[in-house]
Chain A
């Protein structure tokens, strides 16, 4: 097999890339070099100088007014095709291109060349010296990115067009300004901000990111009150009994200190620590100077609502655990009712009126109760879930069945409610009520009839809305008869108890 000789055998190829992490330029150059069969030793890589420096004058930077960048041009005609490289290679190229080392291009090209010439799995061997070296470079870049996310400190510039404006000066080790920009855009979408560095600048104005050439150290505005507060916080968070400056410097190396306002406190905190600790140890364990708040301590145990009215006030004041629910629909009926009926949750009409069982299902239940000889006024009526869970669909609000977890959020209220009412028997209308009362998932078809439900004697029957959903008239009539019979049985049991 004889490969055609390279076009320009022997002469080196000089590639000039843009300042920083020129991803597009590098990619183009690699495709071209591979297509021309240029081995690594014939490549010479260079980085161009940056453009004129960005400035920050009187708290203003043109970063906020720069128009968005044009989309990078699509592949031009006659360009060599994209290379297919294993994922592990791509995982190294992106971070390593950000590295400050001028050798980065040559090292990456050496890796790509070997991968394309018989060592397809090379990048998957972290023990290989070249892969190891590139891995260290990638790690250094990732750490630099992480530290920039952490250590950028914004200074407030005031408000412009109703948006708060902030600026920061930061000195990264590598060309990572483009790499960190998305993080700050996602985090601070509603404020204008600019980050100036010696390797490039980036700004956000709520619409788009703008990148600029390197900047010199700007004259930053004085810190506002929050910066002083931050220093006070930092000093207080330090525990002088546990000094460990080695650990601190490992995670926050000194090179970052000039741009961290809190770092100027470090020497004094360290110096003062031994004396503060000696003072703590020397001081005898102290006797309390204030009187023991006996009554307040005794009173704090009585926090549970003392009546159903108090409990209801609390339920009304608490936001819904489910999506939708505009207001809590409370239980109603006399304290001491022999029978309590528990449904699933208020529906559309219940939510509007603020009363349980007034919608279509409620009306059906009232009819069945009447046939079973039960008057609404004599029975305690409530729901497992106190809010109407729904999704809006146009003008309608579509009922959503509460999940098991949501039902359990409401269990404590239901328990407390029934503890006040003290019914002899609790009827669970449907599976949701049975779950709320017993804590177990029970299928109504199997578990129908009397059974112990948590701490109450109970009976499980259909929820009236189940009847409304039955398409078959005969089945509906049968289910209705069963519901009436179950209610009558519940009445008898409650009377006998």
Chain B
């Protein structure tokens, strides 16, 4: 790899890093033919971690950061002074294979600024994926960004070669999107997601390959005044109505060359973290958006404690719960007990009456769970009697944010 290409790689990786998605999961198990390269394991692999704590699983780059769109929150908007570069299709293919052979990555996550036209850009991205699959027998993971402004057949061509497609919602509020991203069109984004959902479902039923790892999306949080409840409402719609695999939340963070229409103060990273926790409660713990929102104030989540604990503290009458008799749904609502711990607990209690020591072996969150549980040897004080419970369970205030 020569210096010019290395410089381009630096620019186009820098330009891509604000997309939070990096997952390499969901493609099922697959292996290359004898003369090919690559495999997928189903659960995905993180090959490295940067000092921001985020994983490096895929080679996440833009094909180009030249862009005709002018989205205020994006570092690559046409009115930004950022340094520009462009890869050729062959260059992306060569870097992907070179990195893959050295076991640096699980595959490629390719996105792009819009150049010439959405169709032209989508086609270039699709050609990268096609070359990897057809010319090099590449069986590793490919995630392509679908451009909702591109023609439907091009987006669907991309689905033939990619494991995952994603269309970014960008902002939970359509009004904000109109203000901050004038070239984007909320109904068009939803229509593309709907189109992809149909094709993915059909292909799965017909046992054909079309984006087998499904679709995901990203929402930027903190660039407008949208509440957490509204963000989660959008997520619930996306999971329910569009069959999304994942919704990623990206706390708006300072970027070099920021636009003037954006808030000066970045959103706390803690907010992003709480939204992810709430997202899990939506998907795996049987919570509704209203229930989660009720744990906080004014549609915003409590930043100091996790949303499950916040909900429990406002519903003390539902606790304590007896681990030896409560059903799964109720156990999932106990702060400190994760879904995996609950399933182990259900298996264990078929053979024995569980004590607090047993729970300690099954869950690492026993300290938090304790006030909410009854075990064979433990019955907590009435929760309503403890006015200091929140203080006892909330983590001590720490300077976690750089800009709090």
Could you list which residues of chain A lie within 8 angstroms of chain B, going by C-beta atoms?
121, 124-129, 132, 146, 149-156, 164, 166, 168, 183, 186-191, 206, 225-230, 232-248, 251-252, 260, 262, 266, 269-270, 273-274, 277, 280-281, 283, 285-290, 292-293, 296-297, 299-304, 318-319, 321, 403-406, 408-409, 412-413
**Are A252 and B49 in contact, CB atoms less than 8 angstroms apart?**
yes
- Chain B residues within 8 Å of A262, by CB: 48
Complex Cα distance, B206 from A404, in Å, reads: 8
Contact pick for B151, options A206, A229, A241, A304, CB 8 Å: A304
A239-B17, A241-B254, A247-B53 are known contacts. Are A187 and B2 too (CB-CB below 8 A)? no
A-B contact sample (9 more), CB < 8 A, given A232-B7, A248-B51, A319-B160:
A121-B351, A153-B102, A187-B140, A229-B5, A233-B13, A237-B54, A239-B50, A266-B51, A300-B116
Q: Point out which of B5, B7, B14, B114 has the most chain A C-beta atoms below 10 A from its C-beta.
A: B14
Do B81 and A289 touch across chains, with their CB atoms under 8 A apart? Answer: yes
Q: Quote the shortest CB–CB distance from B340 to chain A (angstroms).
A: 10
Encoded as 1 (CB less than 8 Å from any A CB) or 0, chain B from 34 to 55 comes to 1111110100011111111111
- B101 in contact with A166 (CB, 8 Å): yes
Give min CB distance, A284 to chain B, whole Å.
9
Inter-subunit contact A230/B49 (CB<8 Å): no
A237 pairs with B49, CB closer than 8 A: no
Report the Cα distance A152→B104, complex, angstroms: 8
**Which residue of B68, B130, B351 contacts A297 across the interface (Cβ within 8 Å)?**
B68
Q: A410 to chain B: closest CB distance in Å?
A: 8
Give the complex CA separation of A292 and B78 in angstroms.
Answer: 8
Which of B37, B46, B119 sits near A303, CB closer than 8 Å?
B119
Contact in complex: B344, A126 (CB < 8 Å): yes
Report the nearest A residue to B16, measured CB to CB. Answer: A237
Q: Which residues of A contact B119 (CB under 8 A)?
A: 303
Q: Which residues of A contact B255 (CB under 8 A)?
A: 280
Are A126 and B266 touching (Cβ within 8 A)?
no
How far does the Cβ of B162 sit from chain A's closest Cβ, in whole Å? 14
Please name 23 pairs of A and B residues whose Cβ atoms are closer than 8 Å in the assembled complex, sorted by A: A124-B347, A124-B351, A127-B344, A127-B362, A149-B41, A149-B45, A150-B46, A150-B47, A183-B41, A186-B39, A187-B39, A189-B34, A190-B137, A191-B101, A225-B1, A225-B2, A225-B6, A234-B56, A236-B9, A241-B253, A252-B48, A289-B81, A406-B208
> Is B59 engaged at the interface, CB distance under 8 Å to the other chain?
yes
Q: How many residues of B contact A (CB 8 A)?
A: 98
In the assembled complex, the Cα of A245 lies from the Cα of B52 at a distance in Å of: 6
Q: Is B312 an interface residue (CB 8 A)?
A: no
Residues of A within 8 A of B9 (CB): 229, 232-233, 236
Q: Is the CB of B153 within 8 A of A413?
A: yes
9 shortest A-B CB distances, which residue pairs?
Answer: A247-B53, A405-B202, A244-B53, A225-B1, A303-B117, A236-B13, A127-B358, A127-B348, A288-B79
Q: Which of A190, A232, A269, A303 contacts B6 (CB 8 A)?
A: A232
A392→B294 CA distance, assembly (Å) = 61
A415 to B14, CA, bound (A): 40
In contact, A300 and B118 (Cβ under 8 angstroms):
yes
A403 touches B208 (CB 8 A): yes
Q: Mark B373-384, 1 if CB is under 8 A from A, else 0.
A: 000000000000
CB-based contact A285/B51 at 8 Å: no
Given contacts A245-B53, A303-B120, contact A190 B35 (CB under 8 A): yes
Q: How far is the CB of B137 from chain A (nearest CB, A)?
A: 8
- Let me know if A226 and B358 touch, CB within 8 A: no
Q: Known A237-B17, A251-B55, A300-B114; judge A153-B103 contact (CB<8 A).
A: yes
Among B79, B98, B117, B344, the residue within 8 A (CB) of A292 is B79
Binds A, one of B223-231, B257-265, B299-307, B326-334: B257-265
* Most A C-beta atoms less than 10 A away, residue of B49, B117, B205: B49
Whole-angstrom CA separation of A188 from B45 in the bound complex: 16
Q: Is B128 an interface residue (CB 8 A)?
A: no
Residues of chain B lying within 8 A (CB to CB) of residue A206? 34
Contact of A281 among B130, B205, B254 (CB under 8 A): B254
CB-based contact A234/B6 at 8 Å? no
B157 CB-CB contact with A under 8 Å = yes
**Nearest-CB distance from B23 to chain A (Å)?**
14
| In contact, A245 and B51 (Cβ under 8 angstroms) | yes
A251/B49 contact (C-beta < 8 A), A127-B348, A404-B202 known:
yes
List A contacts of B279 (CB < 8 A).
none
Known contacts A234-B48, A247-B49, A297-B68; A190/B39 CB under 8 A: no
Which residue on B lies nearest to A266, using beta carbons? B51
Closest beta carbon of chain A to B118's beta carbon, Å: 6
Known contacts: A168-B103, A303-B119. The answer to whether A186 contacts B31 by CB under 8 A is yes
Nearest-neighbour CB distance to chain A for B253, whole angstroms, equals 4
| Chain A contacts for B79, CB-based, 8 A | 288, 290, 292
Contact with A along B1-38 (1 / 0, CB 8 A): 11001110111011001100000000000011111111
**Contacts A127-B358, A190-B35; A244 near B17 (Cβ below 8 A):** no
